[in-house]
Structure 1
Amino acid sequence: MADDETGYDPRFLPVPVPLPRPLGDSEIRELPYPRFTVLLDPVRRLAAVTGVNVDGASLRDLPRSGTWRLDPRVPDAEQAGADVYAANDLDRGHLVRRRDPGWGTPAEARRAMEATFFYPNAAPQASAFNQSKELWLGLEDHVLEYAGALRRRLSVFTAPVLAPDDPAYRGIQVPRRFYKVVAWTAADERMPQPAPDGDALPAVLEAAGFVLDQSDLIDLSQGALAIPRLAAFRTFQVPVADIEHLAGVDFGALVEADVLPAVAGLGDAQERGEDGWRPLRAPEDVFLG
């Protein structure tokens, strides 16, 4: 690893967005990479939070390259490495997508893309591929397109939900759910029009939260991993407040910046559950304001 890893930049958007942090006092390893940061839970051996800055205006479409490897900055025993994924139906699921930090000059983009192949940026996902998983993989692109007429910049936070009752397998617990929170800024149309000198409208922070559920795809009832043939991923747009409660992560101002309206007649995040979530079947189902 190089010594000049910049990590996630909280001032990347016009409105500062600090990197979310796990609640409580559990030990966390903070690992900066080019344009993204992983907060690794050394007990679970998986990320509790990842944060990446995405500059859509200067993304590079480079050929895939990179090899999965352990991060030498932390002990091997604190990372879920190759043994977890060998000879089974689990994929090494990128948390920070390979493409997201790949912007700037070709050399900068290549270095950032290859850094996404360190194991702290992976989490076990069922290999079954269906429309819901395809939708999950494209959520950043969908939000980026929505925000593209403005600044074309996003900050994205993704990780598994590290639930205490996740099923045990090969020395780890396989997460059943994953979360993603995307933040961007829009022009604040409530403010007066730009001044004659061309000053832009002030920026307002906006955010959207999502959950991918692979519970039906993870079957360890016989002591070995099996992927049921007829099961599927489920994808939801979820209030950021719910994700904060579900994942035990402090999202700060992103809770109030959420564009998903409150669901009438439902309680707080602790009470609401999936009945208050918005099922997603296609990009058109995503609500962005």
Structure 2
Amino acid sequence: MLDLVIPAIGRVDLTGAPLSWVGTGWLVADNIIVTNRHVAQEFAERKGDEFTFKMGAGGQISASVDFLQEIDNWKQLIFKLIKPLYIEQAPDIDVAFFEIEKVSGNDKLAKPIDLAAQIAVTENIVTIGYPAYDSRIPEPDLMERIYGKIYNKKRLAPGGVTKVEPTRLWHNCTTLGGNSGSVVYDLHRGEALGLHFSGSFLKTNYAVRADVVRGLLDRVRQGRASNRAETRTPQTKLPEPPEMLATRSSVTGVVRQPGRHGVSLTIPLKVNVSIEIDPAWIANQRPPQRQAFAGGDDTEDYIDENEGVAEDYRDRVGYDPAFLGAEFEVTLPVVQRNAEDVLEFDVGGNKQSELRYEHYSVVMSRGRRMCFLSACNIDGNQSRKSARVAWKWDPRIPRSQQIMKECYGSPPKFSRGHMTRREDPGWGTPDIAKLGNEDSMHVTNTTPQMQAFNAPIWLALEDYALQHAKEDAMKISVFTGPYFSEKDPTMYGVRIPLAFWKVIAFIHDETQQLCATGYEMNQEQNLQPEEEFVFGAFTSPQLNMATQVSIRSIEARSGVDFGRLVDVDPLASSYESVEGSPTRGALLTLEQIQFVR
């Protein structure tokens, strides 16, 4: 059965575009392939009542499908995409259709994949598509164990359909970016159940139901499909079958494709690839620097509603400016541009703006109800692991100035993204380390982040800086915060920051001098949780990846004054201006970080 399906699935390649390939497509008719809207929009667009290919740097972008981009296969079987037939308008179903040439040289298209008319919860399904290395995955070791460090090639992943909704289904086959447009295929019935379009790490994946795809395809072929509201895909409520978790699968094997090319497709999946992985196992495997990934901790069971009292915090020293040494004092950054928006609170009759916790401090925005910045001292030599605790309110400021639930929850809502990482203040004696860990779980130390946001490099910056700090001290100070912008969208009643900054200061192990480096990360593309990213988006230096930037540029964009740190930044220079401040580009490896001039 798979021998007939595999040849009908190909990788969508581009010519004349910034991206060389963008996702997966498969045959649904004799000369029509289906893929996702968000894949199609990388190279095609609507013009009036028609659809056309976009213009690239050297002219119009051309697209093709290579059906032989497979492991250990150096041959090609390329068919050109002739015409965009239809691209569904957001926010409706994530579907697009393209007309494809029927013959390429002496080669003909494979048989189209049948689309199921009935969709139900079931086991023994597979997805087939083109997973790419995904920099958004917070567990890269797990990803590489599953995929054997082989990406961009045709891969099969087993699993089951776990839930059916009116226009989409949930499945637990393992996927990555690049799988956008993959087929969800029923091995028992020999037909497509869905068109994969998105996933949530270690939770579930989503696909457009095959019967919905078929209905839209029929209207497209009859010339009745339109992006006008009156003819969009109907959202009729269908009865939902009961939820069921599919049995986990382990598959090893080689599928031989018969026919003119004798292609071999290896499926190296001798691992548990179901995303219904035991959470306890994941917790045991997770390195400390990745704990900032919120995962499933946004349920009400992880919220402590028993608020403490302000007096409980009298002994908290907070961020220590002299932590790196008296001669290298680094004062707490000052909010300048929006100083009037800094939240003040009363302590013994005195107004203060610094919320002091164990080993770190927070400065809050009154208008945004989240922190301007979080500043932490980290002693790598005294670091200790502690169990995670529930999220807490801070009793020193009104609950109305804190965000506990509104925008937080399971997808498509946001995770509570730590500004100071949970493990960073967890050092000192066992009791002090435990208190630092618990203090990090105040919602004053969080901002809304998509669960895919915390890429491994962003989470590992502190650990890497510790390796370059003075060996006999192993101390660093870290400042983190969101960029507040007029462009920030409002979602679930909360304005969501599109980007974040981080500054790390330490005594360099070679120069023995104060050093500071700045970084940015952007989550703008992540704000569409129902859309998985095409492969090329991962390599954009401005989206979803950590970037080293000058501290002066962070000052200009954030309105936060970092004092002496601007002058000890290796990216600083005498000719630097705000408009032309240096940026070193996306960090693909930690070794790219520049610590000295």
CA deviation string 1:161-181 (max 9, x = no partner)? 111221111222101111000
Establish whether residue 88 from structure 1 lines up as the match of residue 419 from structure 2.
no
Task: Specify which of 479, 482, 507 is matched with residue 160 of structure 1.
Answer: 482
Which whole-Å CA distance do the structure 2 matches of 1:150 and 1:258 have between them? 22
Establish whether residue 279 from structure 1 lines up as the match of residue 593 from structure 2.
no
Which whole-Å CA distance do the structure 2 matches of 1:49 and 1:36 have between them? 11
Confirm or deny: 8 A CA contact 2:384 2:428 kept in the other structure.
yes
Confirm or deny: 8 A CA contact 1:56 1:148 kept in the other structure.
no
Confirm or deny: 8 A CA contact 2:506 2:516 kept in the other structure.
yes
Which whole-Å CA distance do the structure 1 matches of 2:494 and 2:500 have between them? 16
Establish whether residue 2 from structure 1 lines up as the match of residue 316 from structure 2.
no
User: CA RMSD, aligned part only?
Assistant: 2.1
Instruction: Report the count of equivalent residues.
Output: 263
Calculate the TM-score normalised by the size of structure 1. 0.85
Which whole-Å CA distance do the structure 2 matches of 1:75 and 1:19 have between them? 23
User: Which structure is larger by alpha-carbon Rg, 1 or 2?
Assistant: 2
Which whole-Å CA distance do the structure 2 matches of 1:40 and 1:161 have between them? 13
* Secondary structure at the counterpart of residue 137 of structure 1: helix
Partner residue in 1 for 2:347 = none
Which amino acid letter does the alignment assign opposite residue 73 of structure 1? R
Partner residue in 2 for 1:134 = 456
1:9-158 counterparts in 2 under 5 A? 9-14=320-325, 15-24=328-337, 25-29=339-343, 30-62=354-386, 64-89=387-412, 90-128=414-452, 133-158=455-480
Note closer, same or farther for the CA distance 1:183–1:228 as it changes in structure 2 (3 Å cut). same
* Secondary structure at the counterpart of residue 10 of structure 1: coil
Which whole-Å CA distance do the structure 1 matches of 2:437 and 2:317 have between them? 14
Which whole-Å CA distance do the structure 2 matches of 1:107 and 1:45 have between them? 30
- When structure 1 is superposed on structure 2, of 174-183 and 82-91 the one drifting more is 82-91
Confirm or deny: 8 A CA contact 1:21 1:49 kept in the other structure.
no
CA deviation string 1:213-258 (max 9, x = no partner)? 1111114xxxxxx353105512100100000011110001000010
Q: Which 4+ stretches in 1 moved above 3 angstroms?
A: 186-189, 261-264
* Identity fraction in percent: 33
CA deviation string 1:112-137 (max 9, x = no partner)? 101111101011111126xx711100
Question: Displacement, 1:76?
Answer: 1.3
Task: Specify which of 492, 506, 510 is matched with residue 170 of structure 1.
Answer: 492
Which whole-Å CA distance do the structure 2 matches of 1:150 and 1:262 have between them? 30
Establish whether residue 183 from structure 1 lines up as the match of residue 469 from structure 2.
no
- When structure 1 is superposed on structure 2, of 106-115 and 227-236 the one drifting more is 227-236
Confirm or deny: 8 A CA contact 2:406 2:493 kept in the other structure.
no
Calculate the TM-score normalised by the size of structure 2. 0.42
Which whole-Å CA distance do the structure 2 matches of 1:31 and 1:227 have between them? 36
Confirm or deny: 8 A CA contact 2:547 2:583 kept in the other structure.
no
Which amino acid letter does the alignment assign opposite residue 56 of structure 1? G
Which whole-Å CA distance do the structure 2 matches of 1:149 and 1:11 have between them? 18
Which whole-Å CA distance do the structure 2 matches of 1:38 and 1:86 have between them? 23
| Runs of at least 5 residues in structure 2 that lack an aligned partner in the other structure | 1-311, 344-353, 539-543
